[in-house]
């Protein structure tokens, strides 16, 4: 089992490196095709400059933020979800319906107020 896991990790490293290399090569080709024609004799760049440009644009425009919360944040979120779910499950039906009515009546009241403003 661990042999397969090690192979998968090494394979993923090579796949990620290959994808990064292809994207850097595409950036280099696009730069060398577009920039000299747009800026009348603009400079061409090498593969490594294209890779650096790609990393720089990622830093400036995308950052290196994770697309999912870090594990310590997920545990806090799950903690509060679990706590609210437990509280909800311990509530009586009358209290649940009262909360639901309050939540939906508030949203309807806002919609009704907006509707009356539009009519005037």
Give the percent of the chain with pLDDT over 90. 8
pLDDT digits (tens, 9 = 90+) for 77-92: 778 888 888 888 998 9
Is residue 39 predicted with pLDDT exceeding 70? yes
| DSSP state, residue 58 | I
Q: What is the mean pLDDT of residues 111-116?
A: 57
What pLDDT, on a 0 to 100 scale, did the predictor assign at position 17? 92
> How far is C-alpha 111 from the chain's CA centre?
31
Helix intervals (H) in the chain: 2-38, 47-57, 71-90, 93-119
Is residue 64 predicted with pLDDT exceeding 80? no
Q: What is the mean pLDDT of residues 62-85?
A: 71
Q: What is the mean pLDDT of residues 65-80?
A: 67
**Cβ atoms of residues 42 and 35 within 8 Å:** yes
């Amino acid at each position: 089992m661990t042999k397969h896991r090690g192979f998968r990790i090494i394979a993923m490293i090579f796949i990620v490196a290959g994808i990064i290399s292809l994207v850097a090569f595409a950036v280099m080709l696009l730069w060398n095709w577009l920039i000299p024609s747009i800026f009348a004799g603009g400079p061409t760049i090498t593969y490594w400059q294209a890779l650096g440009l790609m990393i720089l644009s990622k830093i400036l425009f995308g950052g290196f933020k994770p697309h999912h919360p870090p594990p310590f944040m997920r545990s806090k979120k799950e903690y509060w979800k679990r706590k609210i779910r437990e509280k909800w499950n311990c509530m009586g039906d009358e209290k649940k319906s009262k909360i639901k009515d309050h939540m939906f009546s508030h949203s309807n009241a806002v919609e009704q107020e907006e509707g009356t403003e539009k009519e005037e």
